[in-house]
Structures are given as structure tokens and as C-alpha cells.
Chains A and B, each alone.
Chain A
């Protein structure tokens, strides 16, 4: 099963094969890179990196590079959760709602007298319940994931605003110094946030490539009907995917709150969810499901990080930054559809 299923990822294979040939022929490498979106984004990232390194004096300093990775680590962690769902041919736009509501609720409970430790468990259970409920809705109710999670996001946020907390802004409750560990501490000079992202990358990579859960996820994403007929427990798998993404979102929320000393439920109304999708899509994980790897998430995250960091150093105007982000995403999508034109088979795979 594992050996065979690995043949399902042609994009990845091509790159690896071409990488081997690259040693002999640079032009060949270029030609091959340009054949996949992942390759194009990689080239863009390298170009941007070289450009910024040459023209911005302290871009290349270790401190700045750490700040760069750190600034997108939380986005990267969220994108890992999203990637699992997307590979299984789903999408979860309720991640931010789950993240802010569960973390904010935990803080409110603590201020109400509960121990932070216990409150964090309650928050985690809420996130898990929300994720599973969404999964059940999609798996058993057969609601298209985009609609189910859009609606669920509003419901979760509404529940939070109505019953759990009145103010969107919740400070980390005073008196729990250890909580600042996730977001502020450093181990061997590397921020814990970055380490967490790194460790999660390894874990998700192992899950996707070495476990039955991972293989079945690819199988489901490739062809849900076929996998159902061949005995894949599609419905429980779907529930599991959304549960995982909810828990990942909760974890990301804790790190976020820890590093900024507060959680702002308003993030639900921000463009953060699109930034996560930007990372996933830019990295080369197709929204049609069935392919993509952790390295795509890393690539997307780093590229967005380089862009944001460089533009911040250049002190570029807000509107222009948004313009650049939008143009880059559009470019990636256009190039992708030019290189991998949609055919009858792919267009039947349930476009978004």
C-alpha cells in the first residue's frame, strides 16, 4: 500500500528526479522547475531572497532571519492543519473562529476563578468538539466543506461572542508566568514558536508519509468514491481531519496569545484565513486534494515570510503590500493553470 500510493504524487516525483539531473544541467533544472507551481514559487522565493539580501543591509543577519521565520511560524502551523484537510479534499475556513473562541474562552474562565491549566483543557475540548461537529456535518450530512465550515465559523464565533465573552480582546490572565513560554522563550537562541513549527512539520510529515491515516488521506483526496468502495472509512476519516485542524488551530492560538500577551477575537474578521490559504496554495498544494506535502507548506510559509519581512524593512505602504500579495497569488494561480491546464478529469474533481 505505501509503495504503491507514493506513485500518486507525480508533482513531487518529478521534482526529485529533476533535482538529480540538475547537477548535470542547470538549464534542465530551470525547465523542470518551471513545470510545476511549486518550482515557480521556489524560484520566486530564491529570487526575492537574493534581491533583498543584496539591497537591504541587515536582511541577511541571523537575527532578522529568525524574526522572518518567527513572524510566519504561526501562519505556518495553521497552514499545516489546513494542508491535512485540503489533501483529504476538504477545506476548513472555520479555523480562525475555533482558534480565537477556544483560547479567549479559556482566558475568561481563568479570570472567573478557574485554574489556567484546567481552563486550557476546557478550551482544548471545546476546539475538539467544534472540529468533530464540523466533520460530522460534512461526513454524514454531506454538506460541501466550504459551506459547512463558512457557516460553522460564524456559528462558533457567534456562540463565543454571545455566551463565552463580551469583549473581543482578552489579555492573558495575570499570575501565570509559565504561559509566556510558548510564545516568548528561546531554546539555544531559537524561539520556541519556530521550534514548534519545525517539530510539527516533522510530525505531520511522518503522519502523512508513514501512517495508514496519511495514506488514506491521500487516497480520499485523489478519489473519494474509489476509496470508499475499496473500504476506506471515509466518514470517520473526514471527522478526524477536521478534529485535527481544530486542535492545530487551538495550539496556534495558544502560541499567538502567549507571544502577544493577548488574544483578539477580531482576527476572525481579518484576512488571516486567506493568508493561510495563500500559504497552502502558493506552496503548491492543489485545492482539488490528493497531493501536496509538508515541504509545500514550508515553501509557502517561507515565501510569504520573505515577502512580508522585506516589505516591512523597505517600509512599504500598507495598500501596496496588499497589492503585492494579491498579484503574487494571482501570478501563481495563473502560471499554475497555464502549466497544468484543467482537463475533463481534473475539472470533475469538484472545483472550488
Chain B
């Protein structure tokens, strides 16, 4: 009896060994528990993007990258488009707090409007990533440009051209966008941090264009009438500064006035560097931002920490685009990054 038992055990062991050997012989590899849990955890999660508005290079670019990752990893990705209305955006954010998705990607119209709501969302357990335009509330993550740095780079480039003893004069004009947006507030700080060290530079005009190229054009036209010897101009966004550049070109001062602007590196902006309208184009590289954003989304969805517990941020690198390096690598179109 005992021997019989032993026999069965031995047989079983033999079968098991043979089976195991057979499996090994076919080499089906090892299951990676981390891959399983990576896909398993992400699948079915819900991510909502709240842009300033869809329909322009930046938001369309980020959305294209985020959608691609959502499709790859099988989580739900939605966009709530407030179409440039801060009111509609606030309402969308309020209803999102009720719906409680797993993560919100917020693009702030200014540094105040969403600040408290974003904190509320985190209190309800929704993780929040802010993209490119910050609010006063620091959330789980911020990915985007360091506007202070852009301002500094722009001002340094202008000082290089219009500083003591250089250029047609020391006069500089600044075209801002909307005075309460992070891009304006922090960029101006960066600009003045540099300009304050160069007292010879005279800012002759600092006007808001509301991102409207025609308004930018007429402002620059008037400024050039008042200051025909203007040496430099800093614009806050490529989309509006086509107007600024047009006014400079039309006054025949394309060679005299050094125009710096910044943007997402879309092909449309690059075209304007090629045809000489922008002298320097500081790009914050939307496809790169989209990829970093994706990494942050995945990291936060996987992480066990509570919303708002750990605050991270990453200022992505900037590229200075001039006529010499307008190329495929620095400029993108929406179709290429989908």
C-alpha cells in the first residue's frame, strides 16, 4: 500500500518533470508580472483633457499624442472643449469633479480661474496634470514650458542685438497676449529680469494683443510710426505675431527690427521663420510635450499614491529655431504626429 502510494507520487513527479521539460523545450518565455499589471491597471481608466480650446496647433498636437497612447493602452480618453470660454471651462471642471474620472489634464486660461477647482478635484481623489499653462495650485504634475525661461531667452536675444552700441537704437517693443495668462505673467517676469540688467534698453511699448494678429499688426504699425528706429520686438505667441511681423515687413524694416516669438513648433510657425518674418522662434516642441505628458499620465494612473500627495513638475527643453535649423526634426504637422 505504502509502496503503491510512493509509486503514484513518483509517477506524478515524472509526469510533472516531463511536462515542465516539454514546456521549456518549446521556450514560451516567462510572464512578466509587471507588464500584465501595467496593462491591466491602465485598461479601462478614464482620462479627460480640458484644453483652452481645441482647434489650434498646441491643443490638437497634445490631444493627438494622448489619444494615440489611450488607444494603445486601452484606456478611455475624452476631451471637453470650452472653446476659449473660461466660464465654460469652469463649468466643465465642476461637472468633472462630480463625474470623478481617474485623471484630468488641465490647460489653464489664467493662473487664477481653475486654481481652487483643481485643488477640489484632487481632494476628491482625481489626479491632475497641468499642461503648458500653470495655475497657482501646484498639482500632481505639471508638464510644459518654463515661461520665465522663454522670457529670459527672448530678452537675451534682443539684448544681443539691441544692447549698448548695437542695432539701430536701444528701443524694444513687447507684444503680450492676455495679461492674466501664465504665459504672459511669467514670461514678462523673465523678460524684465534680463532687461533690468541692461538699463540702456528702453521698452517703448508693451501692449496686449488678445492673441489677435490684426491687433498685433496695427499696434506694431503705430509703434513703428512713433519709433522708426525701433531695434527689437518680443512677441508672446507665434499665432499672433504673424501680424507683428507683417507690420515690420510692410514698413520695410525687416532687417532693422529683430523679432523674437515663441510657439509650439508647428510647421505654420516654421514657415514664417523660413520666409524671414520671425528672426528667432523659441519652440516648446508640442510632440515632445505630448510624449512627456503621456509618461506622466501612465505614471500617475499606475501609482498608488493619493491625488495631490506627491507634486512633480517638468519644464521641457526649448529649441531656438532660426533660418539655419528649420528642419523636419524641429517642425511638425498634425498629420505627422497622429
Chain A interfacial positions (CB closer than 8 Å to B): 58, 61, 63-64, 67-68, 70-71, 74, 161, 166-171, 174, 183-184, 256, 259-262, 264-267, 269-272, 308-309, 312-313, 315, 317-319
The answer to whether B225 and A166 touch across the interface, beta carbons within 8 angstroms, is: no
Interface residues of B in 227-264 (CB under 8 A from A): 239-240, 242-243, 245-246, 250
Is B213 positioned at the interface, with any CB of A under 8 Å from its CB? yes
The answer to whether B277 and A261 touch across the interface, beta carbons within 8 angstroms, is: yes
- CA A308 to CA B210, docked complex, whole Å: 14
Q: Which residues of A contact B334 (CB under 8 A)?
A: 166-167
Q: Which residues of A contact B84 (CB under 8 A)?
A: 266, 269
The stretch of B52-60, B116-124, B299-307, B316-324 in contact with A is: B52-60
**Closest chain A residue, CB of each to CB of B243:** A260
Q: Contacts A64-B225, A262-B242 given: A166-B271 contact, CB under 8 Å?
A: no
In the A-B complex, the 7 residue pairs with the smallest Cβ-Cβ separation, listed nearest first, are A71-B218, A318-B208, A260-B243, A260-B213, A269-B84, A64-B225, A168-B55
Q: Contacts A63-B225, A259-B246, A312-B219 given: A169-B214 contact, CB under 8 Å?
A: no
The answer to whether B60 and A167 touch across the interface, beta carbons within 8 angstroms, is: yes
Taking A171-B271, A259-B250 as given, write out 6 further A-B residue pairs in contact, using a Cβ cutoff of 8 Å, ordered by the A residue number.
A168-B56, A170-B268, A261-B272, A266-B211, A312-B218, A313-B222
Chain B nearest CB from A128 CB (Å) reads 23
The answer to whether B55 and A166 touch across the interface, beta carbons within 8 angstroms, is: yes
Q: Which residues of B contact A166 (CB under 8 A)?
A: 55, 60, 334
**Inter-chain contact count A-B, CB under 8 Å?**
111
Q: List 17 A-B contacts (CB under 8 A).
A: A61-B225, A64-B226, A70-B218, A166-B55, A167-B57, A170-B268, A261-B242, A261-B272, A266-B53, A266-B84, A270-B210, A272-B212, A312-B205, A312-B207, A312-B218, A315-B206, A318-B179
**Closest chain B residue, CB of each to CB of A186:** B250
The answer to whether A313 and B226 touch across the interface, beta carbons within 8 angstroms, is: yes
**Closest chain B residue, CB of each to CB of A318:** B208
Q: Contacts A67-B225, A262-B242, A266-B211 given: A167-B219 contact, CB under 8 Å?
A: no
Chain A nearest CB from B250 CB (Å) reads 5
Q: Which residues of A contact B277 (CB under 8 A)?
A: 261
Chain B nearest CB from A339 CB (Å) reads 33
- CA A319 to CA B275, docked complex, whole Å: 34
The answer to whether A67 and B246 touch across the interface, beta carbons within 8 angstroms, is: no
Is B12 positioned at the interface, with any CB of A under 8 Å from its CB? no
The answer to whether A58 and B214 touch across the interface, beta carbons within 8 angstroms, is: no
Is B85 positioned at the interface, with any CB of A under 8 Å from its CB? yes
Q: Which residues of A contact B18 (CB under 8 A)?
A: none
**Closest chain B residue, CB of each to CB of A312:** B222
- CA A203 to CA B299, docked complex, whole Å: 65
The residue from A68, A174, A265, A317 contacting B55, defined by CB atoms under 8 A apart:
A265
- CA A265 to CA B239, docked complex, whole Å: 11
The answer to whether B56 and A169 touch across the interface, beta carbons within 8 angstroms, is: yes
- CA A169 to CA B57, docked complex, whole Å: 8
Is B221 positioned at the interface, with any CB of A under 8 Å from its CB? yes
Q: Which residues of A contact B239 (CB under 8 A)?
A: 169, 264
- CA A104 to CA B57, docked complex, whole Å: 15
> Which of B176, B216, B218, B245 has the largest number of chain A CB atoms within 10 A?
B218
Chain A nearest CB from B225 CB (Å) reads 4
Q: Contacts A61-B225, A64-B225, A260-B213 given: A174-B208 contact, CB under 8 Å?
A: no
The answer to whether B268 and A67 touch across the interface, beta carbons within 8 angstroms, is: no
Is B223 positioned at the interface, with any CB of A under 8 Å from its CB? yes
